[in-house]
Amino acid sequence: MKEIGYKNYYNKVLGSWIGRVVGDFIGIPVELKSYEDIKSIYGKITNYPEAIDLDHVNDDEMYEIIALIALEKYGVDITAKEIAHEWVNLLNREDYVFTAEKIALNNLKAKIQPPQSGILNNFYFDFIGAQMRADIWGLITPGCPNLAKKYAEIDGSISHAGVGVEGEVYIAVIISQSFFENDIRKNIEMALQYLPSEKESLYSQMVIKAINIYDQNPNDFRAARKYLIKNVWIKEMVEKVLNASSVFPIERRILLNTRLGAVHVLPNIGIIILALLYGALDKHDPFGKSICIAAMMGYDTDCNCGNIGAIIGAQLGADKIPSKWKDPLQDTFSTYVKGYETWNISELSRRIANVGVKIVEEKAQNLIKINLQ
């Protein structure tokens, strides 16, 4: 049986949420900008690209806040329908709801429940939205990847399907494993066992291809990024994505060849894998290095940098994140969740950890012990 003390568990949850917010602020200024523009305007990113505005709201965290509120309200046996109900109740600014989540919210308001809410009229069912909100499911299931997978599948079904849900599962599992696994390469590879096989899943294929690209370019993340996007994503994967689904073939072909194609889950998980592996080479600050590399690679940078910050933050814990990253946050962030617009990161992390204690006690007591002393 694995064991973790509550103080250490909370420290890792806090580190993960700090990492999520740090990643957002690094990624937001360069989100969906071209790779060439990011390079020419910002050069080598080694700090926040722009000054932090603590009143700025990013859409990514809203769904995780709602998930926490729903867990506290309905308990550890929560259903997709219950989480979806809170989406309808608590999403305060519909102009901050995008792509798959926007369509799902409209479906929910029309009384169409999960999993149909994630499928009906949804051009974006395999985009990044479910993956971006995966963190909380790993945080409440420390060292319990099977449970992380289960919760991620429940949440993902509200707005996504196929590789879209697989993205949420994969990131949740990596974060769950991060409480006990410090080797990021091992964590990345172990998490693949919770996905369909490489033969069955384009998502698994992309993760494995990204690992192989890193191995072939161990000292040059820019060369690796170029090959991943041009040779794997554009030349190979886009056509496979289109062939894998018969829904909206014309619309989706057009979509994947526009700027919004950069929001698809597959190229972004490739970027996350590369950034984690290259960042781990920096023994002084793998946290900042990984996030900054992801920002320099482009595509959906706030989502990618946020997931990376959450992963490494859980691995390191808040006390090992350098002050240059966490101090500017002032333990605060803002969101557009009705009645929950302003948060202390420390209090949010405490509430997440308390839910995690309940889940471990009720669902994983023979696998994990959280020592409350």
Q: What is the DSSP letter of 91?
A: B
pLDDT, average across residues 191-202: 97
| Phi, psi angle pair for 121, to nearest 5° | 60, 25
Separation between Cα atoms, residue 32 and residue 331, nearest integer Å: 27
What pLDDT band is residue 258 in, cutting at 50, 70 and 90?
confident
pLDDT of residue 95: 85
Least confident of 208-212, 242-246, 297-301: 242-246
pLDDT, average across residues 230-256: 93
Residue 18 · residue 318 · CB < 8 Å: yes
Tens of pLDDT, residues 311-322: 999 999 999 999
What pLDDT band is residue 173 in, cutting at 50, 70 and 90?
very high
pLDDT, average across residues 154-168: 98
Helix boundaries (H) for the chain: 6-27, 35-42, 62-74, 80-90, 99-109, 129-132, 135-139, 145-156, 163-178, 184-191, 202-216, 221-227, 238-244, 249-256, 265-279, 286-297, 301-316, 323-326, 345-363
Q: What is the DSSP letter of 230?
A: I
Tens of pLDDT, residues 54-69: 988 888 899 999 999 9
pLDDT of residue 106: 96
Residue 114 · residue 157 · CB < 8 Å: yes
Helix boundaries (H) for 51-110: 62-74, 80-90, 99-109
Q: What is the dihedral of CA 334, 304, 105, 66, to 10 degrees?
A: -40
Fold designation for 7-364: ADP-ribosylglycohydrolase fold (1.10.4080)
Cα distances (angstroms) measured from residue 169 to each of 35, 156, 329? 28, 8, 28
pLDDT, average across residues 213-217: 96
Tens of pLDDT, residues 13-66: 999 999 999 999 999 999 999 999 999 999 999 999 999 999 888 888 999 999
pLDDT of residue 96: 86
Q: What is the pTM of this model?
A: 0.98
Domain ranges of the chain: 7-364
pLDDT of residue 172: 98
With 80 as the cut, is the pLDDT of residue 373 above it?
no
Q: What is the dihedral of CA 311, 313, 315, 319, to 10 degrees?
A: 180
pLDDT of residue 116: 98
Q: What is the CA radius of gyration of the chain?
A: 19
With 90 as the cut, is the pLDDT of residue 98 above it?
yes
Tens of pLDDT, residues 239-248: 999 999 888 8
Tens of pLDDT, residues 332-353: 999 999 999 999 999 999 999 9
**Tokens at 86, concatenated:** 């809170």
Among candidate residues 178, 170, 129, 180, the one with its CA nearest the CA of residue 313: 178
Residue 308 · residue 294 · CB < 8 Å: yes
